[in-house]
A = this chain, B = another copy of it.
Amino acid sequence: MSRTIYLDNIPLETAREKFFLRLNQPVLLRSEQIPTELSLGRVTAEPVFACLSSPHYHASAMDGYAVRAASTFGASETLPVQLKTGEEAVLVDTGDPLPQGYDAVVMIEDVHYIDENTIEIIQPVAPWENIRTVGEDLVATEMILPANHIIRPVDIGAMLAGGVNEVSVRVKPVVAILPTGTELVQPGSPLKPGDIIEYNSRVISGLVTEWGGQPKVWGITPDDYGLLLERIGQAVAEADIVVVNAGSSAGTEDFTARAVAELGELLVHGVAIKPGKPVILGLVKGKPVIGIPGYPVSAVLNCELFLRPLLGKMLGIEPGLRETAKAVLARRVVSPQGVDEFVRVKLGQVGDRIVATPMSRGAGIIMSLVRADGLLQVPKLTEGLEAGAEVEVELFRTKEEIRNTVVAVGSHDISLDILGNLLKERFPRLSLSSAHVGSLGGLMAIKRGECHIAGMHMLDEQTGEYNLPYIERLLKNQQVTVINLMYRQQGFIVARGNPKQIKGIEDLVRNDVRFINRQRGAGTRILLDYYLKQKGIDPELIAGYDREEYTHMAVAVAVASGTVDTGLGILAAAHALDLDFVPLTEERYDLVIPAEFWHTDLINALMEIIRSDKFKVRVAGLGGYDMRDTGKVLMQS
């Protein structure tokens, strides 16, 4: 198999033009007639006109008596008018047809009963008062809905009211989704190294559903060129769009581009975007075929950029359009010139501005899409964006949800996940969003006004006290409240059975021990340095002191996967991965909250959860935690 497949690198807009301009009218905007009752969420193919007027007769708008208006003229408190029921006044309920010969309705509340056959009124009614005339709501021939309109519940009502019992809507485009790759296995299969769970097709299927298409997920096609040709051929015959997932790059088993070229026309292979560069756009028998890479973030992004507008062209709408918002960038983003890069961001409203924090940019991290609140496009003409820049962000959540999110930046602890969970359970409208940048990073975020709370555990070498000395030094001109969240054990995370017999700090300098450190500014790093200094140990002697991870869990993963022998972390992280733990010390973990947020509804709700027994019991249950001061105010500046 030749290795000489090279990817193009054409600009996004050029790729889209090349692709969309080649689509023929026959595959676009097809329509079908369906019962109006079943049309929720469908798109009108043409304007809808009323066949009937509504009301289709003059109807009483009130419960009361139908009268001749002229017979009520002059009625007053001093000169009431009496009317014979059945002759001069006829009882009608709301919606009843106006009896022949009458032209107004007196409301029941304005009627006095004199005897069984007589009513009295003390106010005249005008002709046609309290009557819904024919066509008041809808006149036959009137337009109810325009074309290209997504049908809502009230639209169904209006169409049925107008006698429109069938409606012409766009055909839902059928999207065949072909997962390919010998390494793929179905969810639930037993796993061996190299097996990849095939979940992209399910994600794409959900996207197609949300965008108004009809997904058809095929079984897994192994890396067999002949079979792939055959399957694409079948899929093109049955579907309106074919999506081939993976095999779109230039590796030994990346057959998709060749298959598209052989069966039809390969229009684009490789677009200057990040992630998702190795996308394939082609036509087979006039039908669009899209080949998208296997990394989940690339796959989703390619669907957004190519599949979504394609469905839109077939449906006559722009499906899945998202609101955008202006936000302030919390960190610098570097991005190569010439490439349109799409960066997932966390968003939070802090004070009156929305703060966007760039997230992991790995194309393989589907959790980054799960956790993201929005998407930022770094345009191809720039080399990146500076911290503090105002940017336009596409929103994954509503602004309302963003306003109702507590933004936590700082040191990570599993208790924050529990806190977020209980918060959502008790107040479904609220969320906790948490970015893990270490204790010092959290303090800096507080200083820059980019978060509501910061979790920290920083030991001050001089005083041996936790957190407060740092806050006093670094947040000099800011008023904050500091509360305790918990105390927790820090220690050495080691493989099950502690094979290297690590007992303390001294063991880290051993030749046979590979260590992994936390990043600069992390409380755990400061703790380590404090003990190294106490014992007079030179950090340079520790193999791996320079290798940094950003969370306890990442340290535990490194140990679990055997790439290192130990790292400093918390008991819960060790437990989570079934590792052993050698305790070193207990440390205090506090939350810092700027004064301006302390009495907001958001923080009040958070404090209610922190001080609840439920929270304390859950966290204590993890092991390695002490909740003796949880929720206690330690300082208020």
Contact = CB atoms under 8 A, between A and B. Distances in A.
Interface of A: 3, 36-37, 40, 47, 52-59, 61, 63, 91, 93-97, 103, 108, 127-128, 132-149, 152-158, 160-161, 163, 165, 181, 183, 187-188, 191, 193-197, 199-200, 202-207, 209-210, 249-253, 294-296, 300, 312, 316-318, 321, 323-324, 362, 364-367, 369-370, 398-400, 417, 420-421, 424-425, 428-429, 431, 553, 556-558, 560-561, 563, 576-577
A45 to B, nearest CB: 10
B199 A134 contact: no
B366 A561 contact: no
Contacts of A56: 191, 193, 195
Contacts of A364: 55, 61, 132, 136-137
Number of copies: 2
A423 to B, nearest CB: 9
Nearest to A147: B425
A424 B157 contact: no
A203 B370 contact: no
Contacts of A318: 428-429
A203 B156 contact: yes
A563 B141 contact: no
A147 to B, nearest CB: 6
B58 A561 contact: yes
Contacts of A136: 362, 364-365, 557
B203 A135 contact: no
A578 to B, nearest CB: 9
Given A37-B202, A57-B194, A251 B63 contact: yes
Given A47-B421, A63-B251, A188 B165 contact: yes
Given A323-B400, A417-B143, A421-B147, A154 B97 contact: no
B424 A147 contact: yes
21 contacts: A3-B108, A37-B187, A40-B210, A55-B196, A59-B194, A94-B251, A94-B294, A103-B563, A128-B563, A135-B553, A136-B557, A138-B367, A141-B576, A147-B425, A148-B428, A157-B202, A157-B296, A158-B369, A160-B202, A312-B428, A317-B428
Contacts of A97: 193-194
A210 B210 CA distance: 13
A617 to B, nearest CB: 16
B37 A153 contact: no
A135 B40 contact: no
A252 to B, nearest CB: 6
B160 A577 contact: no
Given A93-B253, A147-B425, A557-B53, A321 B154 contact: no
B157 A366 contact: yes
A127 B561 CA distance: 14
B133 A558 contact: yes
A424 B145 CA distance: 11
Given A154-B369, A323-B399, 16 more contacts: A36-B202, A37-B187, A40-B210, A57-B193, A63-B250, A91-B252, A94-B249, A97-B193, A137-B364, A138-B367, A153-B209, A156-B199, A160-B199, A165-B187, A321-B400, A323-B400
A202 to B, nearest CB: 5
A56 B189 CA distance: 13
A141 B367 contact: no
Contact of A200 (B143, B157, B202, B252): B157
A139 B561 CA distance: 11
